[in-house]
Structure 1
Amino acid sequence: MRSSQPVLPGWLTYMISVAFVFSGIAVVVFAYFTFRVMLNRPLNPLEESVAAVAGVDLSLGQSGPSNVPTLVPGQPTPTLIPTSEPWAGEDRVNILLMGIDRRPGEAFISRTDTMMLVSLDPATETASILSIPRDLYVLIPGHGRDRINTAFVYGSAGNNPVGGAALAMQTVEYNLGVPVNHYVLVDFTAVINGINALGGIDVNVPVAINDPTYPDMNYGFDPLFIPAGLNHFDGAMALKYARTRHQDNDFGRAARQQQVILAVRQKAAALGFTGLVAQAGTLYQQVENGIRTDLSLEQMIRLATAANSIDSEDIRNDVLDFDYVSSHRTETGAQVLILENDKAAVLIQELFYSE
């Protein structure tokens, strides 16, 4: 009986083995130097503390959501001082994620038309996401009542996005009664480039989207149609899906934005740690100009690690829609939304205070 011969010559097998070993070493070295560069290059170039707005005190002594304070004519509006400590990676952390309505060539200072409060608890391996409508009429510390999406602009006086982020965090904490530890600001380009760097995302579209007046990047129109069912989106289409609202309303848009966030998490989890490390340099280069955050790289790695350990069924997400808000017309005729505290308090307790 003839003995079986090796499929590949011995010298070729040896060379392939050597190449495999060296490629593995190269990936590790590449990842090391990539993270070294990232550690020495903060995402927030201003390098200022979140506590950039003076005279603001968030130590309200609350164990849960409170009633929205009533603005008394002739009396000063509340001013606050942040008290949140940097996240060490073990306790629950609440992060305000804000999408900047900024087109190419425009300044970073703009309205935060997307606001989500994201909470992650490593101890219980659970997470929560709450979308806050941009037209929510709230007390902005030091500025009186206005739409919540203007807080960032108010605080960014003097071209200071750190101050804007701080005031937005304080406004959310003051009106919803939820401590906010950190912030992430993201513009259109970061969403597009980041999702492209991941290879796109898969999203199940429940109802076909037909938006003939979808806005383009030059304040014109770019008619949009997305069929119902499972769709694979590149970055540009994912952004369109997250921004379109003319077919329904801002609440529908908020739900779609949460879909995109969860789809990005799912794609990142599917790549695994090795895949993410291999793409770390590309991802950073693609999104660095469109993101501002007070999270350090170490904290972001901890967040990513903790998020990947959470099962999908342990992520709760909701929207402050008409179950929790009501329409209101201001004295100047502006149409806004008012938080119904008794209803919202139950939801906020479940999302951000339950063990």
Structure 2
Amino acid sequence: MNFNQPNFNQPNHSNRKHYWGVMFFVLLAMGLIYSSAQFGLGSNEIEITHDDETVWQKVANLFIISGEKLPTIDDDIDYKMPKEEKNRWDILILGVRGEDDEDAEEAGALLTDTMMVLSYDMATKKTSLISIPRDLYVRIYGTKKNKINSAYEIGVLRNNALGFTKKLISRITGVYIDNAIVLDFSSFKTLIDDLGGVDIELERPFTESQQWGYEFSLPAGLNHLDGQTALYYTRSRFSSTDFDRAQRQQKIILAIKDKVLELDLLADPIKSLSILNSIRKNIETDLNIFDANGLYELSKQFDSDSNIKRYVITTENLVYDTHMQTEYGNLYVLLPVGDNLQGIKQLFQEILK
């Protein structure tokens, strides 16, 4: 299967400040690590009490009208847990609305709007960034099925947000997820403002006329975005599709990378500390001190966008859309082509080759 997609890369920038860019990535990593140890990074996670199923519920779930046992995620060979790969590093990146979002109560503060996997082959030095659609309908745990964007919220309910989500995404992608990073959109906005904004190049104008109470638009060509504008650009969905939005999210992530590589840390240490402080407050991760060297090696691959192979799973390749009657009502969902995960797993295995 051919996994090539159109190139959404930004124009390449000069490498002359690459050294400081790499050092800043390491500094970001150490800031995350230090915050975890000293300030309890991740302590902002909402604690919600959750009672496991009662004995009678478990017994009831064993039977359906025909008297047969309902299959569970552990019974389904399609969801077999992959083994850890020594020369491969896979990092799950999640974006949630967060409690501060104005639509958080109605839309779900902990539902995942953004889901990407950043993969790095330590032997070949190849890097990929794959976006997974939030409407993908999958097994979650036991006999329960739901959209994949509910995984993190369910993990929070089980007091194991990162562990639960990493394990599920590992089962779905067929690659072992080593680490995870979760950020809410308020941190996204703050980080970009602290960086002084980001620059993106658009091949054609972008317009969202329905979502924000006014017509939000960006012209074709070079655009400089502050935090709020970048947030609107990445979250707009009424006038386009979720797949288009995933491509825009990848574009902004690479624009942030470009801006970081341009920073002169020695000339502006206050700005650098501000960014680290924003990360400490708004990002949850399980990265630790032992990951610092790997982050350094990974950051060197961000010298050029051409080093990063980007892919968005869409209805034009690995999934199809339909409506399904579920316990939550008649839902719009995405299902994997062939009604199995083999195509998605093949993508994750072959994209780094």
**Within 2, Cα distance between the matches of 1:207 and 1:132?**
24
Equivalent position of 1:152 in the other structure: 152
SS at match of 1:124: coil
Contact kept in structure 1, 2:209 and 2:239, CA below 8 Å: no
Equivalent position of 2:182 in the other structure: 185
* Mapped pair 1:329 → 2:320: no
Structure 2: give runs of 5+ residues left out of the alignment.
1-26, 46-51, 53-66
1:95 maps to which of 85, 91, 104: 91
Letter in 2 for 1:285: N
Letter in 2 for 1:208: P
Aligned residues: 287
SS at match of 1:156: helix
Equivalent position of 1:172 in the other structure: 169
Query: Residue 138 of structure 1: CA displacement?
Result: 0.7
Letter in 2 for 1:75: L
Equivalent position of 2:311 in the other structure: 318
Contact kept in structure 2, 1:117 and 1:130, CA below 8 Å: yes
**Within 1, Cα distance between the matches of 2:151 and 2:240?**
26
Contact kept in structure 2, 1:189 and 1:287, CA below 8 Å: no
TM-score (ref. length: structure 1): 0.71
Equivalent position of 2:13 in the other structure: none
Structure 1: give runs of 5+ residues left out of the alignment.
1-30, 48-53, 55-71, 216-220
**Within 2, Cα distance between the matches of 1:176 and 1:275?**
43
The root-mean-square deviation of aligned C-alpha atoms, in Å, is: 3.3
1:308 maps to which of 284, 300, 304: 300
Query: Residue 109 of structure 1: CA displacement?
Result: 5.3
Equivalent position of 1:77 in the other structure: 72
Closer, same or farther in 2 for the Cα pair 1:315/1:276, shift >3 Å? farther
Letter in 1 for 2:322: H
Query: Residue 228 of structure 1: CA displacement?
Result: 1.6
Point out which structure has higher relative CO (alpha carbons under 8 A, 6+ apart): 2
**Within 1, Cα distance between the matches of 2:239 and 2:280?**
33
Contact kept in structure 1, 2:81 and 2:174, CA below 8 Å: no
Deviates more, 1:309-318 or 1:102-111: 102-111
**Within 2, Cα distance between the matches of 1:245 and 1:304?**
35
Larger Rg: 1
**Within 2, Cα distance between the matches of 1:308 and 1:278?**
24
Closer, same or farther in 2 for the Cα pair 1:41/1:123, shift >3 Å? farther
Closer, same or farther in 2 for the Cα pair 1:281/1:273, shift >3 Å? closer
Letter in 2 for 1:170: K
**Within 2, Cα distance between the matches of 1:37 and 1:96?**
20
TM-score (ref. length: structure 2): 0.71
Contact kept in structure 2, 1:103 and 1:188, CA below 8 Å: no
